[in-house]
Structure 1
Amino acid sequence: MVVEGIIYRYRVGIPWRDLPECFGPWQTVWKRHRRFSGDGTWDKILSTLLAHADAAGLIDWEVSIDSTVNRAHQHATNLPRDTGGPVELHETARGAA
């Protein structure tokens, strides 16, 4: 049930605390997910499932690439912008000397 809870949480896109009680305490489900992610168990499961599905011919490996470009407005971010202003130039000049 814990693994089902992990899968359900990702499928539905809910926070861990909103996991239905039928999967057990959300803390238990979260701890198991964290442990499996850290020790590589999820990677092993995915590799095994992909190998079996590929051997059975269930995977179509064709890839479609879309070259669409989405641009955000210059003020759409809250991150500071490095303008290359005088502070950076002075620090670089001092560091090179």
Structure 2
Amino acid sequence: MTDAQWARIEPLLPDRAPRRGGRWRDHRQVIDAIAFKYRTGTPWMDLPEQFGSWKGVHNRLRIWAADGTWSA
């Protein structure tokens, strides 16, 4: 994702401090992982390590879908 693209969507994303637990992984890295998954069609479990835990990425996608972040 380019810096210009990131600048447009960053304000639409929730605070990086979730209600429970510690701080979330960088939103930009998660967005890049989600885009990679859908662009390549790779299964969640086969996401490259550079994106961190596939479970974390998948969970963030589910949370954002449930809380309306994606509909913004």
TM-score, structure 2 normalization? 0.58
Q: Deviations over 1:76-95 (max 9, x none)?
A: xxxxxxxxxxxxxxxxxxxx
Letter in 2 for 1:31: N
Q: Give yes or no for the alignment of 1:7 onto 2:35.
A: yes
Q: Deviations over 1:21-62 (max 9, x none)?
A: 100010100000000111111111xxxxxxxxxxxxxxxxxx
Q: Pick 1 or 2: higher relative contact order, CA cutoff 8 A, min separation 6.
A: 2
Q: Give yes or no for the alignment of 1:24 onto 2:37.
A: no
Letter in 1 for 2:50: C
**Structure 1 residue runs of 4+, over 2 Å off?**
none
Which residue of the partner structure matches residue 42 of structure 1?
70
State the number of aligned residues: 44
Report the structure number with the largest CA radius of gyration: 1
Mapped to 2, the partners of 1:37 and 1:7 lie a distance apart of: 15
More helix by share: 2
Task: List runs of 5+ in structure 2 lacking aligned partners.
Answer: 1-28
Q: Tell me the SS of whatever aligns to 2:42.
A: coil
- Tell me by how many angstroms 1:7 deviates: 0.9
